[in-house]
Amino acid sequence: MTLVFNESEWEWIDRRAERIALETGTPLPFARAAAISELRALRRRPKAEVIELAPRIAEKRRYAG
């Protein structure tokens, strides 16, 4: 399996790995693996749902007027 991350993701992984290593005392290579796992889980999360503004604005006007 090839890990494909862009430059900013690698920077995030490095920062997160350092934080994990400091907080848990885990050696850096294992903390880095944990950070990669965390990033992969974040990638799998569903994206935000977009709600149209027009129906919301119409509803607010209905209550205001």
Who's near 24: CB < 8 A, 6+ residues apart? 31
> What pLDDT is attached to residue 14?
97
- Tell me how long the chain is: 65
Count of domains forming the chain: 1
Instruction: Determine, yes or no, domain membership for 1.
Output: no
In a domain, 53, yes or no: yes
Q: Give domain status of residue 59, yes or no.
A: yes
d(CA 42, CA 30): 18
Does any domain span residue 44?
yes
pLDDT in tens, 6-62: 999 999 999 999 999 999 999 999 999 999 999 999 989 888 877 777 766 677 777
Q: Which residues constitute the domain of residue 55?
A: 7-64
pLDDT, position 62: 73
